[in-house]
Amino acid sequence: EKIASRIRTGEEIVKSKKSGFTWRQRAVFEVFNRFEPLKRYAKKAGVEETWDDPTIQAFNILNKNTIVQNWLGRKSTPILLRDGNWEVVTEGSVADYQKLVKGKESEFISYLVARRVVSLHNTITQMKNMGEATSRLESIVKKDDFDLADATAVVDKYDKEFLEATRIFDAINRNLIRFSYENDLINKDQTNSFLSEKGYASFSRYVEDELEGALGTIKTGAKSKVSSFKERTGSTLDIVDPTYSQVMAINEIVGKSMENRLWNIVDGLAAKDPEIAARFEKIEPMPAVDKQGKVSFPQEHDPSMIRFFKNGKREFRKAAPEFLAVMKALRGKEKDLFVNLIRLPSSVFTRLTT
């Protein structure tokens, strides 16, 4: 009960507004007007209708809602590979583990939180035994202010009962990490680090009716790096239901990965053609450090720039108007899908209310 009292669930975190566009209306508006530059330059580079054609990836992005639905409510979870192909993984969906815990949703999300608390304490103990520094992790534990005895009691009580549901939950997290790696949002070292963490559950915080906090704001605009991968600092603020946070992570990672793959493809065309390169000009990242030591990149706020990641590192390109128009169309699509996400697989969310 102590752990459950610090978790937010239900209507308060899933409210949304209608976009005013149907999917078909938005697709017609965007596709037939905004993707012409991609098709034009693909033809110029001699890669039209191949996997190196960015138009194909743009159409993939328009189909993002179907891909997200697979992760949420179907048996298969497609992963976009770096070569442009798709791999279908059949390890279960969000709906599968929701069915397994039906009637005990509150206990399951409390178990997920407690499991991560116990895992973090175990990690600290192991690091101390190996003579490694633990001050950062101990700071997180202190700020979280969870009682280890309470968390251990919850884990011991539900470990066996939630074994299969947890297996599916963990598999989805692993596949999201792989999706991100395949599309250059994170590098190999980061991937291995995330995969090595046992008992992961999102500790996103609930602040003033918005989803933001220690893990970073949950949002879909590609101007921010994936919030799921932001370093945690610890907090006593309420935690958003980890199953809901996972749904948001699916939407965010699928969208950002697909857009990142698109701009990597465009950059590949620019590397081979001087004319395209002149309209998609590489600009070196220029980090700025404030008085508190926080690093930022002023280019992030330049409307003429397109930011994407290669091997987990920021890349900036000064883009010609036609590429900026494509980006604007993609971001509009992303926003509409995020706003309407909750309505797509409604059965998945019927048990989120307290």
Gap between the Cα atoms of 54 and 62, Å rounded: 13
Rounded to two decimals, what is the model's pTM?
A: 0.76
Least Cα distance to 213 among 203, 221, 200 occurs for: 203
At residue 280, φ and ψ (nearest 5 deg) are: -145, 65
Least Cα distance to 198 among 130, 124, 123 occurs for: 123
Mean pLDDT over residues 172-196, rounded? Answer: 91
Mean pLDDT over residues 315-327, rounded? Answer: 91
Does residue 127 or residue 312 have the better pLDDT? Answer: 312
Has residue 200 got a pLDDT over 70?
A: no
The residue whose two tokens read 């101990």 is 138
Has residue 249 got a pLDDT over 50?
A: yes
Has residue 350 got a pLDDT over 50?
A: no
The residue whose two tokens read 């610890």 is 234
The residue whose two tokens read 């490694």 is 132
3-state SS string for the chain: CCCHHHEECCHHHCCCCCCCCCHHHHHHHHHHHHCHHHHHHHHHCCCCCCCCCHHHHHHHHHCHHHHHHHHHHCCCEEEECCCCCEEEECCCCHHHHHHHCCCCHHHHHHHHHHHHHHHHHHHHHHHHHCCCCCHHHHHHHHHHCCCHHHHHHHHHHHCCCCHHHHHHHHHHHHHHHHHHHHCCCCCHHHHHHHHHCCCCCCCCEEECCEECCCCCCCCCCCCCCCHHHCCCCCCCCCEECHHHHHHHHHHHHHHHHHHHHHHHHHHHHHHHCHHHHHCEEEECCCCEECCCCCEECHHHHCCCEEEEEECCEEEEEEECHHHHHHHHHHHHHHHHHHHCHHHCCHHHHCCCCC
Query: 40-80: per-residue pLDDT in tens?
Result: 888 889 998 888 889 888 888 888 888 998 999 887 889 99
Has residue 278 got a pLDDT over 50?
A: yes
Predicted pLDDT at 163: 95
Has residue 334 got a pLDDT over 70?
A: no
CA angle 327, 329, 333 (to 5 degrees): 115
Predicted pLDDT at 19: 38
Gap between the Cα atoms of 82 and 183, Å rounded: 6
Query: 212-241: per-residue pLDDT in tens?
Result: 332 332 333 344 456 555 555 555 556 778
Predicted pLDDT at 296: 83
Mean pLDDT over residues 128-134, rounded? Answer: 81
Does residue 152 or residue 217 have the better pLDDT? Answer: 152
Name the token pair of 91: 């390890």
